[in-house]
């Protein structure tokens, strides 16, 4: 394989992280292993949720993608659930690698197209969040030629054996020095804290447990806060068990400025992850929510991200936090008006506050097409209502 380390490295296409603390050495370790391979190289990046696996994979992709003509980075494969999800997953892989829109009618057709259309091609493929039952897709990619790199991101280290990975990289949690620097960048926008915050920052770091996601979310929340506010956050952290990551993340959710911002987070969490930002803004503005400013706040708090295709993304642990919150507030009224609508399933009348809780059931059932259909019907009726 060509020496990728010496290749063109200035063609970054994915947003990996704003503050790449401790990332460079990990990237170089993986690329050195890639350079040793002349066949199809399968790499598994594993580690705890929130440990920076996807960030590392994006940084690697940005470094080496310029040496590949065919490439694909499929993020959050968990969103491709059910039979239709398998089809969409293969459609995206084929569309990315062949650089054209591909539609398939069945999984078997997708397998055949991967075998026939990708055979002999040298490609870079990154599969993020691959579950244990995703092994078939990984094996299908082995029809590609020597020099192909397949990077699999998973929280389950045992999957490395199933995929017969050539190299396994188990991401370790950040050490104290790295943790403090990452927290400082998010909380102060510089590597070192202001003198009066020095001890507070060190103590917060010890409670975050070296997990990059927690450091990022807590640090973003603490940006431009007073020492009194830091102490309040520290008090909450000290009363949360170390393994309860979602409870630590919830500090940022609880600290949102108003109920509208909290509702917006839950709406995105339950129904809009992976959707176009303009589409979501249009829908929620029609529901009386100031989605424009709310989305900006969630991004500033590191509770939400927008990818290169303008799609809304949310870390799985943040989505888990949202799902834990939803049942606790599902009986509370969030707005004061109702509307009627018609669907193929019949008519209905809902409080606007119940829309996302109703639709979240379709999200968990995997019936995305029905959920999207209902959103279109609901939005059309809201426009008429206005």
Rounded Cα–Cα distance for residues 307 and 16 (Å): 10
Answer yes or no: is pLDDT of 341 > 70.
no
Segment 314-324, tens digit of pLDDT: 999 999 999 88
Ranges 22-31, 41-50, 360-369: which has the least confidence: 360-369
pLDDT band, residue 186 (cuts 50/70/90) = very high
pLDDT band, residue 14 (cuts 50/70/90) = low
Rounded Cα–Cα distance for residues 315 and 156 (Å): 17
Residue 275's Cα: distance from chain center in Å? 12
Rounded Cα–Cα distance for residues 365 and 20 (Å): 37
CA distances from 382 to 293, 346, 358 (A): 21, 17, 16
Residue 139 in contact with residue 165, Cβ under 8 Å?
no
Q: Which residue has the higher pLDDT, 213 or 338?
A: 213
- pLDDT on residue 83: 63
Q: Which residue has the higher pLDDT, 377 or 297?
A: 297
Residue 381 in contact with residue 339, Cβ under 8 Å?
yes
Ranges 109-123, 134-148, 247-261: which has the least confidence: 134-148
Tokens 């990728």, residue located: 4
Q: Which residue has the higher pLDDT, 116 or 218?
A: 218
Mean pLDDT, range 78-91, rounded to an integer: 72
pTM of the model: 0.79
For the sheet with 167-170, list strands across it: 70-74, 123-128, 149-154, 41-46, 167-170
Mean pLDDT of the chain: 79
pLDDT band, residue 345 (cuts 50/70/90) = very low
Q: Between β-strands 305-306 and 312-313, what pairing exists: parallel, antiparallel or unpaired?
A: antiparallel
DSSP string, 292-319: HHHHHHHHHTTS-EE-TTSBEE--HHHH
- pLDDT on residue 103: 84
- pLDDT on residue 146: 79
SS3 (DSSP) at 357: helix
- pLDDT on residue 357: 41
Rounded Cα–Cα distance for residues 296 and 301 (Å): 9
Answer yes or no: is pLDDT of 19 > 70.
yes
């Amino acid at each position: 394989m060509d020496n990728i380390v010496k290749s063109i490295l200035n063609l970054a296409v994915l947003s990996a992280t704003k503050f790449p603390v401790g990332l460079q050495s990990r990237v170089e370790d993986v690329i050195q292993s890639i350079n040793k391979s002349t066949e199809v190289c399968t790499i598994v990046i594993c580690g705890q949720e929130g440990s920076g696996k996807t960030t590392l994979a994006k940084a690697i992709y940005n470094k080496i993608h310029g040496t590949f003509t065919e490439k694909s980075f499929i993020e959050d494969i968990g969103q491709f659930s059910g039979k239709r999800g398998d089809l969409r997953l293969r459609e995206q892989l084929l569309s990315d690698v062949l650089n054209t829109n591909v539609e398939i009618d069945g999984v078997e057709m997708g397998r055949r197209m991967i075998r026939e259309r990708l055979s002999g091609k040298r490609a870079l493929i990154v599969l993020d969040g691959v579950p244990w039952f995703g092994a078939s897709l990984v094996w299908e990619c082995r029809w590609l030629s020597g020099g192909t790199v397949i990077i699999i991101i998973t929280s389950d280290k045992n999957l490395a054996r199933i995929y017969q990975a050539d190299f396994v990289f188990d991401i370790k949690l950040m050490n104290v020095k790295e943790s403090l620097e990452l927290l400082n960048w998010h909380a102060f926008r510089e590597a070192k804290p202001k003198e009066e915050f020095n001890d507070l920052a060190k103590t917060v770091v010890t409670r975050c447990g070296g997990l990059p996601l927690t450091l990022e979310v807590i640090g973003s929340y603490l940006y431009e806060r007073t020492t009194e506010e830091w102490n309040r956050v520290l008090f909450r952290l000290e009363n949360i068990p170390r393994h309860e990551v979602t409870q630590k993340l919830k500090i940022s959710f609880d600290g949102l400025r108003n109920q509208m911002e909290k509702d917006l987070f839950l709406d995105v969490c339950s129904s809009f992850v992976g959707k176009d930002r303009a589409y979501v803004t249009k829908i929620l503005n029609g529901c009386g929510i100031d989605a424009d400013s709310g989305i900006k706040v969630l991004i500033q708090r590191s509770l939400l991200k927008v990818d290169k295709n303008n799609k809304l993304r949310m870390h799985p642990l943040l989505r888990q936090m949202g799902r834990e919150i939803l049942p606790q507030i599902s009986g509370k009224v969030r707005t004061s008006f109702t509307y009627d609508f018609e669907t193929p399933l019949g008519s209905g009348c809902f409080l606007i506050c119940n829309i996302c809780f109703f639709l979240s059931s379709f999200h968990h059932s995997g019936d995305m097409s029905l959920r999207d259909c209902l959103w279109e019907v609901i939005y059309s009726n809201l426009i008429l209502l206005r």
